[in-house]
Structure 1
Amino acid sequence: MDDDADPTPSPDGRRGRATMKDVARRAGVGLSTVSRVVSGGGGVSRDKVRAVERAVRELEFSRNEFARTLRTGTAATIGMLVTNISDPFFAAVIDAVEEQVRARDQLLLVASSSDDADEGIRVLRRLTRSRVDGLIVVVPETADLSFLQRQQDAGMPVVFVDQPSGGVSGDLVLSDNEGGMAEAVRHLAAAGHRRIACIAHVGGRYTSERRQDGYFQGLTAAGLAHDAALVVEVEDSVSACAAALAELTGQPDPATAVVTTNSRTTKAVLEALRLTRQRLSLVSFDDFDLAVLMDPPVTAIAQDPVAIGHAAADLLFDRIAGLGGAVRRIVIGTRLIERGSGEQPPR
């Protein structure tokens, strides 16, 4: 059957995921027979095994279920998709979610899709066919996840992390992107800088744009003029960042400080500064390993991935427990970590 096929109608006409009762009814056998076939038990005639297997395929009922699933209809399993499983931020979010899942004696299935929208959709379809009880999703950029609405309508909740999904509604947990970046700008302005640039990443438009909004909010709060020439969007490469720095420092009224919009961009900027022998005051949005070992140590706006992971898991388990109501949105605050790179006075 097609992956977008509607869930099986229940006796009262509502749509829902296929159950053992649906399989038994379609195959014309008893529940105990379905249980033995699905769990790999014996004592079932070949004709009945074939009938059950045919019903399983037609109803898209998963055969790889735990004993608890057979007893209660729930899988005791949560699915999670992230765009980059090796990214320290997402790794910390995963650890925090897993902590909450283990505390409830359940299992977390984690998959990574990079930023490939098609791969993200493929992985999510497989997770939903695994009959997970709920999903926590970091949305791949440009992915249309509207197909998940049917799963939500069938009783499987979805919580989004880091950015919302344009194709489907769902609870959302994210960092205070605007507030954190505004604080970075205010910090540099308090050190005496009046020409503060922003080097922004181009991958992950949602967070980049929110942080650029925060940059302009910080300028306004500090009484500084907005100058579009001080904002450069780059790929996260050293060469691109070196070109951006040359552009920003080559102006008649050059930048004396810079904010970056994620840790990958920060690392590329630091290498570009080293290669070009430039020294600019710097504040990174997002902390990163080895920031304290740089010369000078890098001042950063730190996100709280543990709080984000805990909040996402709590929202999901509330929905699994039956909580209804409007979509909820939780914004987790950031904090400024002063280390030295943002305190250099303007030249």
Structure 2
Amino acid sequence: MTSLSNEDRRPPRATMREVAALAGVSLKTVSRVVNREGGVSPDVVARVERAVSQLGYRHNLAASNLRRGNGRSAMVGALLQDVSNSFSSSLLRSLEDAGRDRDVAIVSSSLDEEPERERALVEGLVRRRVDGLLLMPATQRHDYLADDLRSGLPIVFVDRRPNGVDTDSVTVDNALGARMAVEHLLAQGHRRIAFLGDMPTIQTAQTRHDGYVATLRAAHIEPDASLSAVSLRSPEDAAAALNRLLDLPDPPTAIFAARNSLAIGAIRALHQRGLAGSVALVGFDDFPLADIVDPPLTVVKQNVAMIGSEVAKRLFARIDGDTSAPQHVVLTPELVIRGSGEIRPAS
């Protein structure tokens, strides 16, 4: 005798017809209730919801959308650089909150600054007919999205501007943020200010480095190339780079770490060398516990909640049919003074 697999033993899923029979209503009434349409009395809604709960019914949203002919999947793709990073995870949470109000699922993935991974994930999401796409790109040019944009797929860029196509974007003024950080350190009397940055091929990393250089030159200080360490991808990279800088004959008295993970590496290196209270540090991007390290970290803070709100506003407006010209929202960062950036150079 052939034995049944576990899958074969599973009871069949409850159907809408069974819900209708248990609630004593028509299929159309059940459809209206589960699709949150109007025109159904509260007592009937309550009866249908009790039947749904009793039977364990799960509504097939994809099939419902197909029957309606609206082409919607009720899914949005969110491709960020690293969903474990506090900036990306906070941004993702903002989008999830907005999607929940619309019964939209967010499908997210990390790109890890890998262009081929980005293209493959975008292709997969488009094949799955997502209703829209949030993209923090790893690619330098984005012409490959032109056909999708022409076909009407809403795409909103975040953190980085599109290049090669024109579509909505939400970014922070990174040059201004870098200027805030460096001017603050200059105001404390520092002249030997080191820079810790990510890969120059990353739009935001390069803009922050350019802002660092421009601010020093505006203060009539020629940037010392030996004080800049770039292409740092992790806290460990930042710690190793800072240790090399601190071993210079004329080491920096202050550091601008242009990414939150790099600031974490800098904090570790300074503590290991016993210099946390004597070398100033300003980071770009806040992160959990930054306010309770010793000394508390001064940061250039991006308002992630506002960024997420703007992204959701643009993306869902496009999904709802907004065909106006692309908008490029640029938000202003904030310098949060906590202590580490206020350390003055030793006399």
Identity of counterpart residues, as a percentage?
34
Q: 1:48: which partner in 2?
A: none
2:141 aligned with 1:151: no
Instruction: Give the unaligned 5+ runs of structure 1.
Output: 1-62
Q: 2:294: which partner in 1?
A: 295
Q: 2:84: which partner in 1?
A: 86
TM normalised by structure 1 equals 0.74
> Do 2:243 and 2:269's aligned partners in 1 also have CA atoms closer than 8 Å?
no
TM normalised by structure 2 equals 0.74
Q: 2:45: which partner in 1?
A: none
Q: 1:333: which partner in 2?
A: 332
In the alignment, the residues of structure 1 paired with residue 345 and residue 336 of structure 2 have an alpha-carbon distance, to the nearest angstrom, of 20
Kindly tell me: are residues 312 and 204 of structure 1, through their superposed partners in 2, closer, same or farther at Cα, counting changes over 3 Å? farther
Q: 2:179: which partner in 1?
A: 182
1:248 is displaced (CA, Å) by: 3.4
Kindly tell me: are residues 304 and 282 of structure 1, through their superposed partners in 2, closer, same or farther at Cα, counting changes over 3 Å? same
- After superposition, residues 297-316 of structure 1 pair within 5 angstroms as 297-316=296-315
Count of paired positions: 284
For 2:163, which of 159, 162, 166 is the aligned residue?
A: 166
- After superposition, residues 66-77 of structure 1 pair within 5 angstroms as 66-75=63-72, 76-77=74-75
1:239 is displaced (CA, Å) by: 5.9
Computed over aligned residues only, the root mean square deviation of the Cα atoms, in angstroms, reads 2.5
2:140 aligned with 1:127: no
Kindly tell me: are residues 64 and 311 of structure 1, through their superposed partners in 2, closer, same or farther at Cα, counting changes over 3 Å? same
1:243 is displaced (CA, Å) by: 4.8
In the alignment, the residues of structure 2 paired with residue 124 and residue 175 of structure 1 have an alpha-carbon distance, to the nearest angstrom, of 24
For 2:113, which of 115, 118, 140 is the aligned residue?
A: 115
Q: 2:242: which partner in 1?
A: 245
1:231 is displaced (CA, Å) by: 1.7
1:313 is displaced (CA, Å) by: 1.5
1:314 is displaced (CA, Å) by: 1.1
In the alignment, the residues of structure 1 paired with residue 110 and residue 234 of structure 2 have an alpha-carbon distance, to the nearest angstrom, of 23
Aligned partner of residue 159 in structure 1, secondary structure: strand
In the alignment, the residues of structure 1 paired with residue 225 and residue 119 of structure 2 have an alpha-carbon distance, to the nearest angstrom, of 36
Q: Deviations over 1:295-322 (max 9, x none)?
A: 1111111111111111111112222233
- After superposition, residues 4-43 of structure 1 pair within 5 angstroms as none
> Do 1:239 and 1:272's aligned partners in 2 also have CA atoms closer than 8 Å?
no
Q: Deviations over 1:63-111 (max 9, x none)?
A: 9934124304231332221221111111111111122222334332223
In the alignment, the residues of structure 2 paired with residue 69 and residue 200 of structure 1 have an alpha-carbon distance, to the nearest angstrom, of 48
Q: Deviations over 1:29-83 (max 9, x none)?
A: xxxxxxxxxxxxxxxxxxxxxxxxxxxxxxxxxx993412430423133222122
In the alignment, the residues of structure 1 paired with residue 234 and residue 305 of structure 2 have an alpha-carbon distance, to the nearest angstrom, of 28
In the alignment, the residues of structure 2 paired with residue 209 and residue 66 of structure 1 have an alpha-carbon distance, to the nearest angstrom, of 46
Instruction: Give the unaligned 5+ runs of structure 2.
Output: 1-59
